[in-house]
Amino acid sequence: MSSHVIFGAGLIGSYIGACMHQLGVNVALVCRPAIKHKLLSEVTLTDYQENYANVTGLNFLDIDVLARLKPNQLECDFLWLTVKCHGVAQAVRDIAPLVSDKTVILCCQNGLGSEKPVQNAFPNNVVLRVMVPFNVVELKTGHLHRGSQGQLTIEQTTNGQVSETLQKILNSALLPVALTHDMQALLWAKLQLNLGNSINALADIPVKNMLQQRGYRLVIATLMRELLAVTNELGIELPKVTTLPAKMVPYVLKLPNFLFTLVANKMLAVDPNVRTSMWWDMSQGKPTEIRYLNGAVVSAAERLGQEAPANKRIVALIESLTSTHGAKKDLAYLSRPISAKQLQDLIRKP
């Protein structure tokens, strides 16, 4: 049986790993001791569609044990890299004992370009990008809940065999799996939706509550329009990752509340508990992925000779609130939770 390792198992990685284990897949998790302690006895898996599984006997690998091993000493067939974007560089060094020439490495990061350090470090390996569209929350200790829609999507290999095998093994009610030949366009489409992660972190409320307020939706729509200007210039046609075409999403977000509720009812089909990963990072005092999300739009726009002022302001605000050196002077008056009006005023500034 093929062996799988989930490296950097937080909420998403633990959910994927527990789903694999429940399906009879040979999988081990590499995670922090506190996470291992929560999942060691049993794990409850649920989702917004009321699917359920109880999982016991998860396998774990200690990061301290890995650190003492030589490269290739404890190799696996499939290595799922579920660390945050800013953790990839360190992870590349840590995963060496797990990687042989035959190991397939799957990069599950948000944002764009995080797979490049992995490809550079392991040029002889198959490195596939994976798009994870759904949120996972911990409702209580050991209870992981998938709170939103979407299929875990794996990049299609040249001959398709590796990706198709993974889909066949993993596709299930709790973990729906799809394949794509155009991962770059799909990641841009996912990035469009992820631009709201920062707004959720700043609003300091659940995602559903945020989407029910037009003021916050107007801010997100502005961020999305800047991204669409970039992808239009790059000639990238964004695939649908929601029931709406990507270009229509900003227009729908701008609708009055009563129309938005009617038109975008599936967008609101989000568990009331769900908050974004950036909210979790900020709430726990951890580094955020803002440079790989809104910051990626800013960087791409600058390379094209364009501007993305709204995204640039949001990047500055997130960084001012998470900086160990104190807030930037012109943003020092803002602190979480930040109202929709404050955010609108901020992104309108010249």
CATH assignment of the domain containing 197: 1.10.1040.10
pLDDT of 126-151, one tens digit each? Answer: 999 999 988 898 889 999 999 888 89
Q: Are residues 103 and 243 located together in one domain of the fold?
A: no
pLDDT > 80? residue 338: yes
- Both 231 and 320 in one domain: the answer is yes
Q: What is the pLDDT of residue 327?
A: 47
Q: Are residues 166 and 277 in the same domain?
A: no
Q: What string of H, E and C letters represents the secondary structure of the chain?
A: CCEEEEECCCHHHHHHHHHHHHCCCEEEEECCHHHHHHHCCEEEEEECCCCEEEEECCEEECHHHHHCCCCCCCCCCEEEECCCHHHHHHHHHHCHHHCCCCCEEEECCCCCCCCHHHHHHCCCCCEEEEECCCCEEEEECCEEEECCCCCEEEECCCCCHHHHHHHHHHCCCCCCEEEECCHHHHHHHHHHHHHHHHHHHHHCCCHHHHHCCHHHHHHHHHHHHHHHHHHHHHCCCCCCCCCCCHHHHHHHHCCCHHHHHHHCCCCCCCCCCCCCHHHHHHHCCCCCCHHHCHHHHHHHHHHCCCCCHHHHHHHHHHHHHHCCCCCCHHHCCCCCCCCHHHHHHHHHCC
Among 162, 181, 200, give the residue marking a domain's end: 181
Q: Which domain holds residue 163?
A: 3-181
Q: Looking at the structure, tell me whether residues 152 and 196 fall in a common domain.
A: no
Model confidence at 201, pLDDT cuts 50, 70, 90, reads very high
Tell me: do 143 and 24 sit in the same domain.
Answer: yes
**In this structure, what CATH number is given to the domain that contains residue 91?**
3.40.50.720
Quote the pLDDT of residue 117: 94
Supply the mean pLDDT for the chain.
Answer: 90
Q: Are 62 and 171 in the same domain?
A: yes
The verdict on 188 and 170 lying in the same domain is no
Same domain, 71 and 165: yes
> Is the domain of 118 the same as that of 71?
yes
- Of 181, 204, 226, the one marking the end of a domain is 181
pLDDT tens by residue, 243-275: 888 999 999 999 999 999 988 877 777 778 788
Residue 332 is predicted with a pLDDT of: 53
Q: What is the pTM of this model?
A: 0.86
Residue 331 confidence (pLDDT): 59
Residue bearing the bigger pLDDT, 329 or 86: 86
Count the domains in the chain: 2
Band of residue 241 on the pLDDT scale cut at 50, 70, 90: confident
Same-domain check for residues 152 and 209: no
Both 153 and 251 in one domain: the answer is no
Last residue of a domain, which of 132, 158, 181? 181
Query: Are 153 and 65 in the same domain?
Result: yes
Check whether 73 has a pLDDT greater than 90.
no
